[in-house]
Structure 1
Amino acid sequence: MLAILVLVAWVTPNVHDGLHRLAGYAILGLLAFRLVWGVLGTRHSRFRSLGVRLRATPAYLWNLRRGRTGRYLGLNPAGTAMQLALLLLLIVSAATGAMQVTVRFFGIWWVEDTHEATSYLLIPLVVLHVAGVVLVSRLQRENLARAMLTGRKLLRRGPRTTTTPVDR
């Protein structure tokens, strides 16, 4: 839903301002939910292991160059870094977008410039994220997009493969 709302918000400014604003407020709501879920949610959705995975990101990317990905039930270190970058950019973009329609911040240059810059920075990050998902899916021979949508990932245990919820 977040991806769809970001796409709607990205293509509607100055053309369909009401829809753009509605998408922005919905994005703020989903971001608020994600922040709460990052504290109270299931094991792999919590932010608890954020620091460990972020510190592992350079080594993970170095090994990825050699085709070695490792197996993760939750996000891999690169996915964790991308999640953080996208969440922070979305928070700043949505917050500055909401600020623009208030009396206090309407027409303030830094609010408008920050909203525009973060909105434009999202696009290359989204493209990089999708490319990373495709690359790691091919290297690991598993459908990571399906795992993101369903919350389930195939676990390889010996000769059998079982479907296990990501949050176990």
Structure 2
Amino acid sequence: MMEKAVPEARVASIAADRTASRMVEVWDLPLRLWHWTLAVCVLIAWFTPNVHDGLHRVVGYSVIGLLAFRLIWGFLGSRYSRFRMVAVRLRAAPRYLLNLRRGITGRYIGLNPAGTLMLVAVLLSLAVSGITGVMSVTVTFFGVWWVEDTHLYASDAVIVLVVLHVAGVVLMGVLQRANLIRAMITGRKRIRSYT
């Protein structure tokens, strides 16, 4: 029995369907508002110590409030806001980073393992910075060298991580031909469907 030949136009149509892209809801509105508000607060906090101490404290307390919200939202938020995959992605991060050196990015709708590692590092650094910042204005810890030094180093670490985060987003956007910044603004991410 002979197989029927498939016309070339139909083959091209099937190939196009296999790599068709579609928009998927990824980041919910509360998470996006949290992300951009945190970014603004971190930048303000970075430029205001010893110059505008009152503003520095206000945004510092705001960061602590935002961290508390993120912890809650990590359990109550939408699918890609939750922390349910953090442990799995953290274990996958070393291999992912090695593969990334070879240009192998994988496809993730939410955070990839490197993004998950960055999320944890930023949250921990911000927590240390915020807690030591609050400690440094109390009677007990005001002027205590290790509190001030820890606050300074944690704050510097946050800025280094922010720069790495932005570089990582740009790199992944180029490697995957995806506008990840737009996804964090609109909440929707274009993904390729492979059927």
Q: Fold conserved (TM > 0.5)?
A: yes
Partner of 2:142: 106
Partner of 2:189: 153
Question: Quick one: distance in 2 between partners of 1:106 and 1:39?
Answer: 35
Runs of 4+ in 1 over 3 A off after TM superposition: none
Aligned mate of 2:178, from 122, 139, 142 = 142
Q: CA RMSD in A?
A: 1.3
Question: Quick one: distance in 2 between partners of 1:96 and 1:158?
Answer: 48
After superposition, the C-alpha distances for 1:43-94 in whole angstroms (9 at most, x for unaligned) are: 1111111110001111111111111111111100000000000000001101
Report the number of matched residues: 159
Partner of 2:103: 67
Partner of 1:24: 60
Question: Quick one: distance in 2 between partners of 1:50 and 1:158?
Answer: 25
Question: Quick one: distance in 2 between partners of 1:120 and 1:50?
Answer: 25
Q: CA deviation at 1:158?
A: 5.3
Identity percentage over the alignment? Answer: 67
Partner of 1:41: 77
**Greater relative contact order (CA < 8 Å, ≥ 6 in sequence):** 2
Report the 3-state secondary structure (helix = DSSP H, G, I; strand = E; otherwise coil) of the residue aligned with 1:155: strand
TM-score of the superposed pair, with normalisation by structure 1: 0.90
Q: CA deviation at 1:157?
A: 2.3
Which deviates more, 53-62 or 143-152?
143-152
Q: Which amino acid aligns with 1:29?
A: G
Bigger Rg, which one: 2
Matches within 5 A, 1:90-129: 90-129=126-165
* Structure 1: 5+ residue stretches without partners: 160-168
* Structure 2: 5+ residue stretches without partners: 1-36
TM-score of the superposed pair, with normalisation by structure 2: 0.78
